[in-house]
Amino acid sequence: MMIRKNFQILLITSIVLFIFSSSFYFGYKYAVFNTDFHHYSFTLESFLDFKNGFKLNKDIFIQYGNGQVYLFAILSNFFEINLFTIGVITQFLFSLKFIIYYTHSLKLYRVTFMLVFFFIYLFCYIYIIIKKTIFI
């Protein structure tokens, strides 16, 4: 019984890591060819205004919250922030949510439920990402 449970946990962990890596890979490809100038440009404009000394929520209209602006301000110390890097950062954070879901659900749910849930999530999410990436 313990071997079966360990195998199920190993299988789920493999699926989650596969979802994380494939989601980030296809998200990275999507960020290269991204034509979503509304969302990323709005975020970039808010960050650039903040960097140039404007005050948040007073001089700058923030649509997606102050956290994004602060995150990009910190990350701008390490690399240049542009539409591409905003896309890559966003895709990385979207991919990271799978690991966060996994670690929290491992404590809350039975292993068999998690196995079914992540298989369904794997096929639905990867299909959407691949479809969005292929038809760009």
pLDDT digits (tens, 9 = 90+) for 69-94: 899 999 999 999 988 888 888 888 88
Contact 19, 125 (CB under 8 A): yes
Cα gap 43→37, rounded to integer Å: 10
Instruction: Name residue 60's beta-bridge partners.
Output: 56
Range of the domain at 94: 2-134
Looking at residue 96, its pLDDT comes to 84
Looking at residue 4, its pLDDT comes to 73
What the block records as the tokens of 42 is: 């709005």
Please state the domain count of the chain. Answer: 1
What the block records as the tokens of 124 is: 């639905």
Count of residues making up the chain: 136
SS3 90: helix
**pLDDT tens per residue, range 10-68:** 877 787 788 788 878 877 888 887 666 777 888 888 899 999 999 988 888 888 788 88
SS3 56: strand
